[in-house]
Amino acid sequence: MYDKPILSLDQTRRAMEAMLDKATQDLAHPVAIAIVDDNGDIMDFARMDRCRKGPQRMAMRKAYTCAISGQDSKDYAARMASQGRTVAEMGDPMLAAVQGGVTVLHPGSGAILGGIGVSGLAAEDDEAIAKLGLQALGLSA
């Protein structure tokens, strides 16, 4: 038998609240935020008012990429580039090789618990908000 750590609804809601608190400080630039489990399945999603469809889809794709690859989306993009590959070659239309997603890892075992994706701002700003959510999960060892 295996013990498998998982994210809880309480954790994801705390993370979402922390990220929305930051994102809604600038209502002129709406973002979308997705949190997925280790299979890339959605656990929590929010979009600010007037957030366009593109950022909504990209937030989900960034979170999914982190969960499936086990890497932050920026690192995944760098790995693809270093290999001269594109995400299209991977055969999974949900993968995204762009900054703005962070992987959620179990602090003790390093097991992948999921991913957080943010989209709608500059890539660095998306990632900064995602990292706030990662902190709010309360996973420190």
Mark 89-102 as b/e (b = at least 16 C-beta within 10 Å): eeeeebbbbbbbbb
Mean of the per-residue pLDDT values for the chain?
A: 95
14: tokens are 């705390």
97: tokens are 């090789």
CA triple 56-37-30, angle to 5 deg: 20
**Beta carbons of 26 and 40 less than 8 angstroms apart:** no
Where is 19: in which H helix or E strand? helix 9-23
Domains of the chain: residue spans and CATH = 9-136 (3.30.450.150)
State residue 80's pLDDT score: 92
pLDDT per residue as tens digits for the range 43-75: 999 999 999 999 999 999 999 999 999 999 999
Residue pointed to by tokens 């999921």: 114
CA distance 131 to 80: 22
This prediction's pTM: 0.95
| DSSP-assigned beta bridge partners for residue 46 | 33
81: tokens are 């580039």
CA distance 101 to 63: 6
CA distance 117 to 136: 14
The mean pLDDT value for 9-20 works out to 97
Q: Evaluate if residue 42 carries a pLDDT over 90.
A: yes
CA distance 60 to 98: 12
Q: Is 39 helix (H, G, I), strand (E, B) or coil?
A: coil
